[in-house]
Amino acid sequence: MAQQPVFDQEGDQRVDDAFIDDVTDAEEREIAHRERGTSRPITVVGNPVLHKECKDVTEFDDKLAQLIDDMFASQRTAEGVGLAANQIGVDLKVFVYDCLDDEGVRHVGAICNPVLDELPAERRVLDDSNEGCLSVPGAYAELARPDVAVVRGRDAKGEPISVRGTGYFARCLQHETDHLYGYLYIDRLSKRDRKDALKQMAEREPRYPVVPND
């Protein structure tokens, strides 16, 4: 069982280290990653790697750094704002993001072995905006998620980090963490809405390379 987070009187999480700065030089860092990387096709719903919990990252080495570069390249090709490793067929708990928050601030980063903190009930303000997924291409559905998210994990060198997001960025952090535990956003929909999302996917051609399911 994960250790419960500690919150201050305003309901914000207290952590030993400050939240990472994923804003400074965001564009330059994203460009550097993807220029070193190779774009890979996206796995889609039905592929077994998407439907089980991924393995923890235990080796923070050059191979992991190359995977992260490839993920940034793949994310850009697919025009996404977040990408989990299993979305390019890799069974490891790591995701990358290049996402604007609701104030238009760009956040760029990578996090390994992410764990979402549980917010106190009084802080769980739900946002039921539309959500989509690169692994369910062409489909969108409304899904209620908390409008604030805190994720703890490790950076590419194995150092502990914490990331906080609000609004659309909070949705991204929750969505990508879900992926690494075997959940797609459509798994959180009603049966009717899930069926509609899969119908949308079937009716539209993906705009980026995907791995066909056998």
List residues with catalytic annotation: 176
Burial of 180 (0-12, 13-18, 19+ CB in 10 A): buried
Cα(186)–Cα(64) distance, rounded to whole angstroms? 29
Q: What is the DSSP string of 109-171?
A: EEEEEEEEPPPPGGG--EE--EEE-TTSTT-EEE--EESEEEEEEE-TTS-EEEEEEEHHHHH
Per-residue burial over 102-138, b if 16 or more Cβ lie within 10 Å, else e, is: eeeeebbbbbbbbbbbebeeeeeeebeeebbbbbbbe
Burial of 8 (0-12, 13-18, 19+ CB in 10 A): exposed
Query: What would the two tokens of residue 103 be?
Result: 């104030």
Q: How many other C-beta atoms are found inside a 10 Å radius of the C-beta of residue 159?
A: 10
Query: What would the two tokens of residue 162 be?
Result: 């914490």
Q: Which residues pair with residue 116 across a beta bridge? A: 151
